[in-house]
Structure 1
């Protein structure tokens, strides 16, 4: 096959749909590919025909020019697809299988993978632990906002759906298993959410809404979502969450109006490094705001789940320290209150099978809760633009017209 249409980063504020090389079972050179990975053989991999692939807030950080992503990088790490070719070392995955792809690439062989820490695999990125498709500094594995995609270590990485027809009927839910549903669940779970918990989630974007859905699934008594965006707050209320408009000031007062006390048992940061201030400062970027406010909001002995992205290189940061990921965090507050923190990539494989079962057995409607919205691959630039402007939608790209 000659080509492969894909969403490509063209510089700050711009993406386009271009033809990139059709994937093979060997890593080729290209934008963002680590030189040590060029020529890497992938006999354990498969080629997927991409059925659905989603636009993620993490992609948006790159497109805004807030990372060191190179021009020409093929984007996309949320992939669901049908296997159309298998490598000679693939034993259990077969041509025709419909599968979810964890966004973090892992080998299944290293110490971290064997301990379930698949977000920090030691063997797939020559620069540092952890890797992902179509993402800056993640080893150069080509992105999956495309017609076809390569998945390495397929027997280990892929989650096969047990029934293709059943899966296609629920594809707008199942497509969230590659990233945001496990990531939101990871945030709520590592924050200690359990039956009867009160939970505050900072951010009503798709990951925040997935975290809110997950907190409900875990049995929380009250789930409160804070944001600046009225449309996104309305989406949170549509499935039973309480909401806080942080443009009106510190969330503690509004939380107290809801709960009777100005604190919660558990807190989740689903915002990350592009956080803005509260109240009168809401229009100004203040990257430590969310972390500091969550430490104030969380009861002593509680925990913070931090699936929101923080980076070590941000060319557009508000100050020199933030440009290298150094934020003014009140660690003394966290220490004094004995708070626990969990950061980093979600280890998707820890959760995705159980969340698949919850979807297939009608225990959760994650696609509805995040307002999954299907658009053709050709319209990806519009999806990126509208998402960047605050649309309360989770855009799902349909490369082959299989979702309509």
Structure 2
């Protein structure tokens, strides 16, 4: 089969590799029909996460069940499924208490739960940017699209990550009626979080980014206020002033990919081994006393200059982590089906799997109005 493989920094390659097979009795093999490139994949692309050469990447896939192991009970050949980026056993404490991103059994190489496409550190599960994918714990680690569904792949594939991660970010941050919510980042997760903030009753939603076409999309599609932080020396303080004391909730959908604001001491050498914590600093300045900061953007290394004093002295709550998405998928499917949310407006590029290297380059360089690229084998 063909698959997108990591080669080196800034180098992905589509290669012919061995097609996966059933290895455990509760495995299934899925023929991929659509898969996304995530911002987290750019960490791999930029060399910020250790991957062996030729490793298959991707964690936003969906497709058709091709084969099932003898212990798979709820799925059969021909079923249409979305595969979450979380890999959960379905039986441990965390999986049975809606915390499946921290499954005890899906990662034999570490304490945290397994993920597709992130090498041995995350369980050694080759990813879904490929023609076929082996899915462990198939009954639990999947969402079966109803047989009578008229929704296209583009409408449901983001149940794998973007939709539930954004939803959980808003839910976990405690947004309530009347809140002012600041969303840092207008990538796919940030754009979707803006939608959910409105649905949770926010009275004001503010989006921050530096990419003009993303800000334009956020304003046009989500009807939010927008700030280009490149136009402000201390964007956190500007937001604090313009919200008259800060926002009740700040959601960081950027993570260590953040660009260091001008005239600050924060940078890639001073913050951590890869990237920056400048979005956290912005959040600490923009949040209200007794407010909440939700860190959804990925932070993968230790950090210096963390503004713990600002958080502590102002009674700011801080929550973060990998979203547990599996239990959220059925309810969010219903929201998409019933028209409460349209995830397709973030798609700017649909490309064949064979063009994945170019899709990565466009995404990384933010060219051609790119927001979200999907690949079709």
Q: TM-score, normalised by structure 2?
A: 0.92
1:279 is displaced (CA, Å) by 3.5
Matches within 5 A, 1:43-122: 43-122=25-104
Residue-pair matches, total: 365
1:280 is displaced (CA, Å) by 4.6
Partner of 2:6: 9
CA distance in structure 1 between the partners assigned to 2:214 and 2:59 by the alignment:
23
Partner of 2:355: 379
Matched, 1:214 2:191: no
Partner of 1:19: 16
CA distance in structure 1 between the partners assigned to 2:256 and 2:81 by the alignment:
32
Q: Could you report, residue by residue, the CA deviation over 1:315-374 in whole angstroms, capped at 9, with x for unpaired residues? A: xxxxxxxxxx23321111111222222222110023222211110011111121x23421
| Residue 194 to residue 256, structure 1, CA distance change in 2 (3 Å) | same
CA distance in structure 2 between the partners assigned to 1:393 and 1:252 by the alignment:
24
Contact 2:237 2:286 in 1 (8 A): no
Q: Could you report, residue by residue, the CA deviation over 1:70-96 in whole angstroms, capped at 9, with x for unpaired residues? A: 211100000111111111001111221
Partner of 1:125: 107
Matched, 1:354 2:331: yes
Matched, 1:147 2:131: yes
1:211 is displaced (CA, Å) by 1.4
Partner of 1:274: 257
Structure 1 segments (4+ residues) deviating >6 Å = none
1:66 is displaced (CA, Å) by 1.2
CA distance in structure 2 between the partners assigned to 1:372 and 1:197 by the alignment:
31
1:284 is displaced (CA, Å) by 5.5
CA distance in structure 1 between the partners assigned to 2:176 and 2:283 by the alignment:
18
CA distance in structure 1 between the partners assigned to 2:122 and 2:351 by the alignment:
27
CA distance in structure 1 between the partners assigned to 2:69 and 2:365 by the alignment:
41
Matched, 1:394 2:372: yes
Stretches of structure 2 lacking an aligned partner (at least 5 in a row)? none
CA distance in structure 2 between the partners assigned to 1:164 and 1:258 by the alignment:
48
Alignment RMSD (CA, Å):
1.8
1:309 is displaced (CA, Å) by 0.5
Stretches of structure 1 lacking an aligned partner (at least 5 in a row)? 27-41, 313-324, 400-404
CA distance in structure 2 between the partners assigned to 1:89 and 1:57 by the alignment:
34
Q: TM-score, normalised by structure 1?
A: 0.86
1:283 is displaced (CA, Å) by 11
